[in-house]
Structure 1
């Protein structure tokens, strides 16, 4: 016997209520999991407030200053996990800042967090910390921020090392996947409900894609926190950065040829996230730059080719400060 209109309405209402209750339950669960992740992975550094933004950073070692800027889906801790921070601290003062929304740094609403906007913020943070003319190292999305910093403040950037960066506009289907998470209201709904669950399911594939063709290092497996990366707050940062990636590259396209500082470019030949030909094109556009395309290495070049990356940083530092003895330039606070 066909259902009456009243019966259908009641069934629809019941379904909507059940769906709303399920979403509310997911939101509560994801909030609890995010807070637990933060308790299990407390901040290891200090905090500084810059332009109303609370940033988490570490500052250790002595010598020529080096600023390490991390990529998407990770935090500044990634440079500790790779071993690059410890390797560079043998001769340098190393500063690592969690970019807005990542790790333990805030990402206030009401601002368009482009690569250039983040570069301006990091430059002001450097001033407050007391760092002058650092060598700037950026990986992946952080490479766009590093290039933005060098392009806008060339006199304040002693040298530049970019790893596996996205330097030129290209069609990227993965941008379409993250755009919904960057849309106000819709993105909030997704990141507190289904996005973390999907993230947990896709994380093994994501990690393999980041490192392939190289194996995932044991230390990364042990120390990388899925729970921290899949907090609603960091999903928002990851999504909005992904959505702004093309805009960041477009904004920089006319600046590459004018960069006056020493520049080193490194990429993995097997990188499946950003093809190595992007690094070759950048090398052709920056006069005097050096290029290393490493065989059997993927996107996470600073993990898979630690010594090659560290050596490249040392070469840039030597070119930027030819009369400075490594390790004695300044002292971290």
Structure 2
């Protein structure tokens, strides 16, 4: 009886794997790459590079892709205001590869993006990161400060806290066990839970109609992207722990933004980071949740422009004047 049960179970898992493979191929045909590809350290990265003018690099968070910056309206607003806008699919998300054999910490991702920017000829951009992307943006600035004009950090996780949700993603990050889950039960389970995830991301505001229309559940629930989402979720706490000693050393303009209703990463973390980063600017958006860039895209763009202008002024002013300016930012 036990042997028969195992056979039935194995057959069911095999059936799920085949079905998920079909859904994945269909999703990728329906949502082909919209940008170009660049190979960096053997990793094929998908990116878009549009416009001209002062460069801005946008780094997306977990569970979404580079397209989220377009869906929110931030990318288009920056283009309208005369910026060069570069957006990457982080490794494992969208159409970017995530080779095995690397931990893919925030620092490793930041170093990869830094090399990609060098290849693309992007010099001293303002870097804006949302959620997990904020940790990557911080790592980029901490490791390559002279190549970073400034930072705009949205809804980021900056200090260690108890995160029960990490326990939910750890199984998907494990070797072998995670592979079995990602190719069998995780995608259908994810489809059931996706409405709850979206509400949690945007609460207390409703999920925007444009996000509903453009966000692809099927792309997010591909085994490859589930792996990236799971590993990044498991590395969230170590990422924050590794960065905290660098906060007081950040010398470029830094703008920190969070929603007062964020239930994914509470805004007290943004307030705490503001107290650790000299000369930083903090803005808490009333009525916004975790997806603050969807709720207030104009404010995000103004923050990016503010940081760019402050960086330009402090770069060319005498040191004593620049220091005085930094105190008022």
Other-structure match for 1:32: 22
- CA RMSD in angstroms comes to 1.0
Tell me how far apart the structure 2 counterparts of residues 155 and 317 of structure 1 sit (CA, whole Å): 14
Tell me how far apart the structure 2 counterparts of residues 53 and 244 of structure 1 sit (CA, whole Å): 20
Other-structure match for 2:74: 84
Q: Which of structures 1 and 2 has the larger relative contact order (alpha carbons within 8 angstroms, sep 6+)? A: 1
Q: Counterparts in 2 of 1:28-177, with a 5 A limit?
A: 28-90=18-80, 91-177=82-168
Q: Counterparts in 2 of 1:176-215, with a 5 A limit?
A: 176-215=167-206
Given the two structures, how large is their TM-score scaled by the length of structure 2?
0.94
Tell me how far apart the structure 1 counterparts of residues 106 and 284 of structure 2 sit (CA, whole Å): 24
How many residue pairs get matched?
314
Other-structure match for 2:310: 319
1:322, CA displacement in angstroms? 3.4
Deviation string 1:7-66 (CA, Å, 9 cap, x unpaired) is: xxxx11111101000000101111111111000000000000000000000000111100
Other-structure match for 1:261: 252
Other-structure match for 2:12: 22
Other-structure match for 1:3: none
1:130, CA displacement in angstroms? 1.0
Other-structure match for 1:303: 294
Q: Secondary structure at the match of 1:282?
A: helix
1:89, CA displacement in angstroms? 1.0
Q: Counterparts in 2 of 1:279-298, with a 5 A limit?
A: 279-298=270-289
Q: Secondary structure at the match of 1:247?
A: helix
Q: Which runs of 5+ in 2 are unaligned?
A: 316-329
Tell me how far apart the structure 2 counterparts of residues 12 and 165 of structure 1 sit (CA, whole Å): 48
Other-structure match for 1:278: 269
Tell me how far apart the structure 1 counterparts of residues 234 and 169 of structure 2 sit (CA, whole Å): 6
Q: Secondary structure at the match of 1:126?
A: helix
1:215, CA displacement in angstroms? 1.2
Tell me how far apart the structure 2 counterparts of residues 215 and 171 of structure 1 sit (CA, whole Å): 27
Deviation string 1:236-294 (CA, Å, 9 cap, x unpaired) is: 00000000000000000100000010000000000000000000000000000000001
Tell me how far apart the structure 2 counterparts of residues 320 and 60 of structure 1 sit (CA, whole Å): 22
Q: Secondary structure at the match of 2:283?
A: strand
Runs of 4 or more, structure 1, over 4 Å off, are none
Tell me how far apart the structure 1 counterparts of residues 248 and 83 of structure 2 sit (CA, whole Å): 28
1:323, CA displacement in angstroms? 9.6
Tell me how far apart the structure 2 counterparts of residues 282 and 67 of structure 1 sit (CA, whole Å): 21
Tell me how far apart the structure 2 counterparts of residues 209 and 108 of structure 1 sit (CA, whole Å): 30
Structure number, greater radius of gyration: 1
Q: Secondary structure at the match of 1:116?
A: helix
Q: Secondary structure at the match of 2:153?
A: strand
